[in-house]
Structure 1
């Protein structure tokens, strides 16, 4: 069974030259590194990372990868910045079949909706407890998925774990 991790970017500064260019706050850098360490401790290593091209998501990726000691080059996608949940699913469907472990980093409300839409409800009890009905910055939803990415649909993945890093 493959793995899909859906992540909301870490805590960003309130201001930047544009919304697209807002950097992470110091807390966001720490939280992303902690989330990376948590993922590494679960044994998750992405084969592919689909990351919004916005500055705060690129910085989230860098801190997350640093915390996990990953060297993977991500796919920065400008379309993921403004994507709604259905468009995010469409982007995931384009991921090559040889990818077993996929990480997606984007923005809310899309990442929260995406996590809700994908969840089959058949995962282990308590897998989403860390989210507490919310999808705050640095939130991770870890799904098991048994199928081709091109066939991903709503309700087709099992939420198996969740994590929220807060420094």
Structure 2
């Protein structure tokens, strides 16, 4: 078994409008889908012990549902770089994850989440997961990577895609 797992998740379905984009809340479907994603993580023994979450309301709500449904007691950091930054900023944030973290989840936004997955993928992963990822990265999508390098060394092609799942409540 790999030493580390990284789960890259796009937030669940959000309401289309808010006065400020960061204030958009999850829709009813989004709440159900995020909980379904959390149940999937629990069922596949991928319960995060550390979470990196965008500070936007919809990502916080997504993490709350995933956390509750998976039974996670993860330490969590809310990082503006996941909301405002690009793929490089997200990667730098992941490189600063505590070294003892074993199953890390990043809950963010597209297109950054999708681009990050493609950057990390070493191309030798699960065929079905790769096919799923190539089909798009919808809301509530989870891409799971085996990571053999320390978090500090995370970079291009350092993850092996081993799972892809879209939460549906």
- Indicate which of 93, 100, 103 corresponds to 1:101: 103
Q: Does 1:5 align with 2:12?
A: no
Query: SS in structure 2 opposite 1:126?
Result: helix
2:149: which partner in 1? 147
Partners of 1:105 and 1:15 lie apart in 2 by: 20
Q: TM-score, with normalisation over the residues of structure 2?
A: 0.94
Query: SS in structure 2 opposite 1:75?
Result: strand
How far apart are 1:128 and its partner, in Å?
Answer: 2.8
Counterpart mapping for 1:64-143 below 5 A: 64-143=66-145
Query: SS in structure 2 opposite 1:57?
Result: helix
Unaligned runs of 5+ in 2: none
Q: TM-score, with normalisation over the residues of structure 1?
A: 0.95
Question: For the structure 1 residues 146 and 6, does the alpha-carbon distance in structure 2 shift closer, same or farther, using more than 3 Å as the test?
Answer: same
Query: SS in structure 1 opposite 2:139?
Result: coil
Unaligned runs of 5+ in 1: none
- Indicate which of 60, 63, 66 corresponds to 2:65: 63
Deviations 1:105-149 (A, max 9, x none): 000000000011100011122123434520000000000001111
Partners of 2:93 and 2:70 lie apart in 1 by: 24
Query: SS in structure 1 opposite 2:13?
Result: coil
Question: For the structure 1 residues 132 and 121, does the alpha-carbon distance in structure 2 shift closer, same or farther, using more than 3 Å as the test?
Answer: closer
Query: SS in structure 1 opposite 2:168?
Result: coil
Mean alpha-carbon deviation: is it higher for 72-81 or for 151-160?
72-81
The answer (yes or no) to whether the contact 1:128–1:141 under 8 Å persists in 2 is no
How far apart are 1:101 and its partner, in Å?
Answer: 1.1
Aligned residues: 167
